[in-house]
Amino acid sequence: MSVNQAEDPRKVTTHRLQQMKERGEKISMITSYDYTMASIVDEAGVDVILVGDSASNVVAGNMTTLPISLEQMIYHGKSVVKAVNRALVVVDMPFGSYQISPTEAVRNAIQMMKVTHADALKLEGGVEIIDAVKQILAAGIPIMGHLGLMPQSINKYGTYNVRAKNDAEAEKLLSDALALEEAGCFALVLEKIPAALAKRTSETVKIPVIGIGAGGAVDGQVLVLHDMLGMTKGFSPRFLRRYADLNSIINDAVSRYVKDVKNSDFPNETEQY
């Protein structure tokens, strides 16, 4: 049975996310990369769909998010937007598309918005990318910031360990969050940081803060769809709650299909013309 959890069927906007934070209503966000999954996720009532560059890992099979291209993100973004009626759709700007110069960043951002018809874009980084953020915002494109563990910078850190555990890094994260808010970002993602720091950040900035591995005292949560559905194997960080075991379900279905084909049990008389 499919269930639409959304109490308000109207299209989610950045303005509505702000109202949700103000009245203490939690924001649900999840990733999607294709039409079919996005239509299921949207119908289930999620508030924000992130076309994450995690597509590089879970769809394209890369070790990191770095290889995915602008064209590939546009392809995923376009496929998702076509399926969605209610959720706000945010597309990740891929590595290399906004770091070279603010002019190039705004050109790529405009291209992404024009072709995908998404509602907003997400960029990783704080003060280092603030000029690009400001120029994209000046073009009228809403931006969601992303701080803490920033997978596009994995080669700088070398590990996916919890970020901002010491005071200096925590203060830097807070000042980055304030800078992104002041520039005009409509929301922030905080990935894999101590829960106390995430709470402090969400109390400091007025815009919604969405956490992944950042504890419960923030304004919403995001998970990667393939992880929370139990499709991916061998990835079990503490913050991940698996809501299904699709890996086993799919394996079982495909195994039974293979068996039926081998035994000439499929198709039967009613399954042919």
Point out which residues bind ligand KIV (CB under 6 A): 31, 50, 52-54, 92, 189, 191, 212, 222, 224
The nearer residue to ligand KIV, 50 or 129, going by C-beta atoms, is 50
Q: 191 an active-site residue?
A: yes
Q: Supply the minimum distance, in Å, between the C-beta of residue 255 and ligand KIV.
A: 30
Q: Which is nearer to ligand KIV, 193 or 222 (CB)?
A: 222
DSSP string, 245-266: -HHHHHHHHHHHHHHHHHTT-S
Q: Which of 79, 31, 25, 7 is nearest to 219 (CA)?
A: 25
Single-letter amino acid code for the residue at 95:
F
Please state, in angstroms and rounded to a whole number, the distance separating the CA atoms of residues 224 and 51.
10
Task: Tell me the closest approach of the beta carbon of residue 188 to ligand KIV, in angstroms.
Answer: 11
Instruction: Please tell me which residue in 7, 191, 203, 271 is annotated as part of the active site.
Output: 191
For residues 47 and 92, which CB has a smaller minimum distance to ligand KIV in the complex?
Answer: 92
Query: How crowded is residue 113: how many other Cβ atoms within 10 Å of its Cβ?
Result: 21
- Residue 124 C-beta: closest distance to ligand KIV, Å: 8
Comparison of 31 and 135: residue with beta carbon closer to ligand KIV: 31
Distance CA 179, CA 255 (A): 52
C-beta of 155: minimal distance to ligand KIV in Å? Answer: 16
* Rounded Cα–Cα distance for residues 80 and 36 (Å): 8
The residue nearest ligand KIV at its CB is 52
Q: Fill in the DSSP letter of residue 221.
A: E
Enumerate the active-site residues.
191
